[in-house]
């Protein structure tokens, strides 16, 4: 049973921010609710107020700007990402990743912003967006500002939001080259993955990225493996470096050694299956 809380449906971002300031840590915004509501039910989180995010244009939409930059609103659902013709044509890694996540019912509710803010160590979109060097657009108290996603994710995985702030959107800059994502869970659907990996290889090899999920409490870049790949090392050598470096959990779902073996295989698969991003 849920502990009673005040449910607000503010109509503007200013009203959301006023309520966040009024309640402090006792309030959280609600997007799709697929993470927050189960956590409230299990009493992992107890709140005085839940603030439903308004479906404002600045929180929605899958668009490209004149410079080719992709902007994804925080309230875009996984189903919208998976079905977007723009993503299917130019950013297939994002559409394909969203299509693999959760279940159809969850994908129709769950949002990009919720995936970024839930603090899940292996959140699929966080792994991919880190590999794409995405920027995060924050609604601050004095207007919006952007930060690199890598900087924004604190070492322990909890996003850096000051009191009264929320995520507005994600931006991805265009690049020419290849990007790929690989995940492994015991079940094909509705399972927390045991390991996941994203790679990005620009055509000029400047800015190679290899990101491993569930590294400590957050996904992280395997910097030494990236340098090896940029310098032309063979895929098995790169995969071994990423697997040895990764600080993976050892728990009842899988041993660290098993997860390391998965990372090795997933890096190899990602390097072999990479799709072109023009
Ligand atoms: C059956 C099932 C399967 C799942 N499978 C997957 C999976 O395969 N991969 C995966 O990564 N996740 C999975 N999840 C977890 C979850 O569904 C996703 O992470 C989802 O994207 C969360 O989005 P949401 O809109 O539902 O977030 P919510 O539950 O609404 O919010 C989650 C957290 O983020 C905060 N938040 C949300 N939006 C914002 C914002 N704009 N600004 C600031 N804070 C914000 C909320 O306050 C809350 O703390 C699964 C969940 C379920 C129930």
Q: What is the pLDDT of residue 190?
A: 73
Buried b (16+ CB within 10 A) or exposed e, 185-211: beeeeeeebbbbbbbbbbeeeeebbbb
Mean pLDDT to the nearest integer, 67-92: 96
pLDDT-based confidence at residue 277 (cuts at 50, 70, 90): low
Closest ligand 1 atom to the C-alpha of 30?
Answer: 30
Three-state secondary structure call for residue 45: coil
Q: Phi first, then psi: what are they for 258, rounded to 5°?
A: -65, -45
Query: Count of residues for the chain?
Result: 278
Q: Does the pLDDT at position 278 exceed 50?
A: no
**pLDDT tens, position by position, 21-75:** 999 999 999 999 999 999 999 999 999 999 999 999 999 999 998 889 999 999 9
Q: Is 124 in the pocket of ligand 1 (CB under 6 A)?
A: yes
pTM, entire model: 0.96
Tokens of 83: 């079905």
Closest ligand 1 atom to the C-alpha of 77?
Answer: 25
Q: What is the pLDDT of residue 139?
A: 97
Q: What is the pLDDT of residue 184?
A: 95
Strand partners for 199: 180, 210
Distance 2 CA to ligand 1 centre (A): 18
Q: Phi first, then psi: what are they for 34, rounded to 5°?
A: -75, -15
Distance 83 CA to ligand 1 centre (A): 19
Q: What is the pLDDT of residue 186?
A: 83
Residue 70's nearest CA partner among 54, 87, 83 is: 87
């Amino acid at each position: 049973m849920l502990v009673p809380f005040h449910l607000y449906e503010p109509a503007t971002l200013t009203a959301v921010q006023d309520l966040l300031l009024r309640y402090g840590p006792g309030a959280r915004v609600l997007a799709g609710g697929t993470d927050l509501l189960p956590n409230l039910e299990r009493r992992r989180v107890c709140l005085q107020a839940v603030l439903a995010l308004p479906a404002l244009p600045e929180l929605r939409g899958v668009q490209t700007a004149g410079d080719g930059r992709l902007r994804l609103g925080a309230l875009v659902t996984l189903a919208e990402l998976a079905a977007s013709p723009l993503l299917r044509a130019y950013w297939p890694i994002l559409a394909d990743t969203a299509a693999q996540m959760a279940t159809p019912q969850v994908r129709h509710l769950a949002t990009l912003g919720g995936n970024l803010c839930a603090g899940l160590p292996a959140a699929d979109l966080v792994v991919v967006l880190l590999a794409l060097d995405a920027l995060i657009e924050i609604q601050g108290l004095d207007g919006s500002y952007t930060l690199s996603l890598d900087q924004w994710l604190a070492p322990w995985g909890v996003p850096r939001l000051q009191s009264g702030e929320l995520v507005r959107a994600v931006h991805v800059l265009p690049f020419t080259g290849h990007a790929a994502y690989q995940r492994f869970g015991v079940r094909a659907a509705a399972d927390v993955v045991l390991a996941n990996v994203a790679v990005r290889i620009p055509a000029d090899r400047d800015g190679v990225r290899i990101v491993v999920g569930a590294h400590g409490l957050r996904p992280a870049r395997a910097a030494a493996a990236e340098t090896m790949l940029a310098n032309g090392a063979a895929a098995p050598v790169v995969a071994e470096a990423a697997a040895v470096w990764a600080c993976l959990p050892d728990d009842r779902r899988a041993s660290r050694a098993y997860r390391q073996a998965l990372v090795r295989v997933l890096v190899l698969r990602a390097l072999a299956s990479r799709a072109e991003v023009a």
